[in-house]
Copies of this chain bind each other. A is one copy, B any other.
Amino acid sequence: MSQPSASSARTRLVREADRAVYDRGAAYKILDEGFICHVGFVVDGQPFVIPTGYGRVGDNLYIHGSAASRMLRRVNEGIAVCVTVTLLDGLVLARSIFNHSMNYRSVVILGAARAVTDPKEKLEALRLLSEHILPGRWVESRQPNEKELKATSVLRLPIEEFSAKVRQGPVVDDEEDYAFSTWAGVIPLEMVAGQPIDDERLMPGVRVPEYARGYTRKR
């Protein structure tokens, strides 16, 4: 992108003034808790938004693609993308309809994503992406062979132009509405992992590993 600054006129447009976070550390904390992003790109003037997995490593985002997807092949050429990560934390039930809101944390990154093409670099990018989603899983799995590596695409997006939005905490009602006798408060929402489900064809004696128990993104 032409503007390597953390916030630009373009990203400043994206948020409401009172909820903006421009701190890189705060944005990275959101990116590290999430692992699903929505990638936006344009084909013949039409926007497309596709969900996929990602991992952050330093100031880069590695985004999982598929060589089978014509869409992502276009992104490989280095066209403009917008990658958005959203974590939903709760419903905010105010006394007035107007002040109803949601607690959430989101990051919007603008940039040019490019395919990681060098096989060694791609393998390392996949490892980093895998470690982002489930640390410890990579070394326990059967590693990708040459054919599989070719059939997988990984995009790298430098995190240069970004903004984050955060809404947290309790209801904020208009002063005169506090006398309104409806219930008000927050319904917290969280992504929770259930008990791991064994595959039916496990080898004898294989047990659920520690890293797959009590899976959580809070760190």
**Which A residues are within 8 Å of any B CB, using their own CB?**
10, 13-14, 16, 36, 38-42, 45-51, 53, 66, 68-71, 80-84, 86, 88, 91, 93-98, 100, 102, 104, 106, 108, 110, 126, 130, 133-134, 137-138, 140-145, 148, 151-152, 170-171, 173, 177-203, 206-209, 212, 215
Contact A193–B183 (Cβ < 8 Å): no
Q: List 7 A-B contacts (CB under 8 A).
A: A38-B40, A42-B45, A46-B110, A51-B86, A97-B126, A181-B203, A190-B191
Contact A183–B170 (Cβ < 8 Å): no
Chain B residues contacting A95 (CB-CB under 8 Å) are 141-142
Q: How far is the CA of A93 from the CA of B198 in the complex (A)?
A: 10
Chain B residues contacting A202 (CB-CB under 8 Å) are 183-185
Contact B190–A100 (Cβ < 8 Å): no
Per assembly, the copies of the chain total: 2
Known: A82-B40, A183-B206. A141 touches B190 (CB 8 A): no
Known: A98-B152, A197-B188. A47 touches B42 (CB 8 A): yes
Chain B residues contacting A134 (CB-CB under 8 Å) are 91, 93
Q: How far is the CA of A86 from the CA of B51 in the complex (A)?
A: 7
Q: How far is the CA of A37 from the CA of B186 in the complex (A)?
A: 21
Chain B residues contacting A91 (CB-CB under 8 Å) are 133-134, 215
- Nearest first, the 5 closest Cβ-Cβ pairs linking A and B are A188-B194, A40-B49, A40-B47, A98-B148, A38-B38
Chain B residues contacting A13 (CB-CB under 8 Å) are 69-71
Q: How far is the CA of A178 from the CA of B201 in the complex (A)?
A: 7
Known: A178-B201, A203-B179, A212-B93. A80 touches B46 (CB 8 A): yes
Contact B100–A130 (Cβ < 8 Å): yes
Q: How far is the CA of A37 from the CA of B42 in the complex (A)?
A: 18
Among residues of B, the one whose C-beta sits closest to the C-beta of A201 is B178
